[in-house]
Amino acid sequence: MHYCFVTFPINAESPFPVYLQPLSLSRASLTVLRQSIMAAIKVHGSVLSTAAQRVIVTLYEKDLEFEFVSVDMKAGEHKTDHFLALNPFGQVPAFEHGDLKLFESRAITRYIAHEFADKGTNLICQGKEMAKLSVWMEVEAHQFDPVASKLNWELVFKPMFGMTTDTAVVQENEEKLAKVLDVYEAQLAKSKYIACGCLTLADLHHLPNIQCLLGTTCKQLFESRPRVNAWVADITARPSWSKVVASKP
């Protein structure tokens, strides 16, 4: 029980005289009070943005409340002065926590995981394990993402915008993705998740691009590698990710 002394009666069974009766708050009401005092978290983005989805899935895993501020990218809202004040590169997502303003999805997820280390799923490690986790976050950003993003642009977004897919770019990047996934298959023989034995930011960072690729011909590149296939099935089945998928139009 948490007490906060006030000078009016609130707890009828209290042994204290009325003027010294404690305000007894349940754990649930204290949480609500604490959350309303805590600085608000805002994510500016589009539900279609893979980079914004990376941040949102992390917030869900950490069980944090946040406000999603929809940016109308079709209307070029991300290039307006108002948005450029949040991200000078004019890209979503942008993130606010009180007076802190951040951009770059992976920097945002790292901030969330460290700042709210005691909330929700622990997505980071300590010492040498953290060093390994950093390696796999870099692998996702520099080996997986460039290839996956190109494939998603050609196979998902170009058709969505009525543009023509460049099959030569698709073939070149499918070959590159196959090589990256061969490394993942070997890594997943050593640990259940991509960086270590438990789910971390490195796994979450992959989710948005993987989800898009599963709706394309690239699906078989994941399915043909048993450990990669099991890992993909595991991380895409997380309730946090299901919530992100459900929010897409």
Which residues would be at the binding site for ligand GSH (CB under 6 A)?
A: 49-51, 78, 90-93, 104-106
Q: 229-237 contacts: CB < 8 A, separation 24 or more?
A: 230/188, 231/184, 231/188, 231/192, 231/193, 231/194, 231/203, 234/192, 235/193, 235/199, 235/203, 235/204, 235/206, 235/207, 235/210, 236/207, 236/210, 236/211
Q: How far apart are CA 166 and CA 108, in angstroms?
A: 33
Q: Among residues 19 and 89, whose Cβ is nearest to ligand GSH?
A: 89
Q: Among residues 140 and 225, whose Cβ is nearest to ligand GSH?
A: 140
Which run of H or E residues covers position 67?
strand 67-70
Q: Minimum CB separation from ligand GSH for residue 54, in Å?
A: 7
Q: What angle do CA 189, 191, 195 make, to 5 degrees?
A: 120
Q: Among residues 54 and 62, whose Cβ is nearest to ligand GSH?
A: 54
Q: Minimum CB separation from ligand GSH for residue 94, in Å?
A: 9
Q: Among residues 93 and 241, whose Cβ is nearest to ligand GSH?
A: 93
In angstroms, how far is CA 229 from the centroid of its own chain? 21
Q: Minimum CB separation from ligand GSH for residue 46, in Å?
A: 7
Q: Minimum CB separation from ligand GSH for residue 110, in Å?
A: 12
Q: Minimum CB separation from ligand GSH for residue 55, in Å?
A: 8
Which run of H or E residues covers position 95?
strand 94-97
Q: Among residues 110 and 225, whose Cβ is nearest to ligand GSH?
A: 110
Structure tokens at 141: 């950003």
